[in-house]
Amino acid sequence: MARAQRLASRFETLSVSAAKLRQNLTLAFYRSPFGRGLWRGANEPTLFDYPNALRPGHGLRGESWLAGDYSLPGGVMRAPGQSPFEIIPPTTQWRNSLHSFDWLPDLLAVANGGGHQAVRAAILHWALAAYVHQRATMRPALVGRRLMRWAQALSEVRSGFDGQALAAIHTSFSTQTRWLEKLATQCDDGIDRLHAALGLTLAACALPQQGQMLRYGMDLLSR
C-alpha cells in the first residue's frame, strides 16, 4: 500500500513537471523566429470601443501619477519628470502592474488635466518599443490585461493620434492579440487564465472580421 502511494505521488510530480515543461516549450516556440510567423500577419484597422459603464477611474490617483508618483502594487516609486518606463522596476509585481496598464483608468479620469495626453504617450511608447520581444512583458495573462486597458483607453483618446502613430498602435494591438490567441491556454487555471480569456475576447471585438477569434475567446471564458 505504501509503495503504491509513493508511486502515485511520484507520478503526480512527474505529471506536473511535464505540464510545466510543455508550457515553457510552447512559450519558447512561439517566441522563436519560426513560431513568430504563426502569430504575425497583416494588420487591419482596429475598432476600439468599450462600454461606458466599465470605465472606472480615480482622478486623485491619476493626478498623483501625472506628478510622478508611480506607486503600484509591488512598490512605492516617485520619479517626477521621468517616464515610469525609464525606472528600474523595484519588484516583479511592480513591473507587471506597469506593463498591464491597470493604471490607465486613473489617467482617463483626469481628462482636462493632461491625463489623456499621458495615456496617448504611454500607449504609443509601448507600441514603438521592443516589448513584444521580451518574455517578461508578453506573459499571456499580462497581455490580456494590457489589451483590455488599451481597448478601454483607445476608445476615448484615439482621435488625438496622427495616422502614423495610430498605425503603429494598430500593429502592436493586432500582434499582441494573435500572440494571445496562440498562448491563452498556457496560463495556469484561475485568475491568470481568466485575464487572458477576457483580453482575447475584448481584443477580438475591437479587431474587424475576427468572429472565429471572438468565439474562441468566449469558449475559453465558458470553460
pLDDT, tens only, 81-110: 999 999 999 999 999 999 999 999 999 999
What is residue 125's predicted lDDT score, i.e. its pLDDT?
98
Q: What is the pLDDT confidence band of residue 52, given thresholds at 50, 70 and 90? A: very low
- Decide: 75 and 90 in contact? Cβ < 8 Å: yes
Give the global pTM: 0.76
> Which carries the bigger pLDDT value, residue 157 or residue 52?
157
**Rounded CA separation 45/49 (Å):** 13
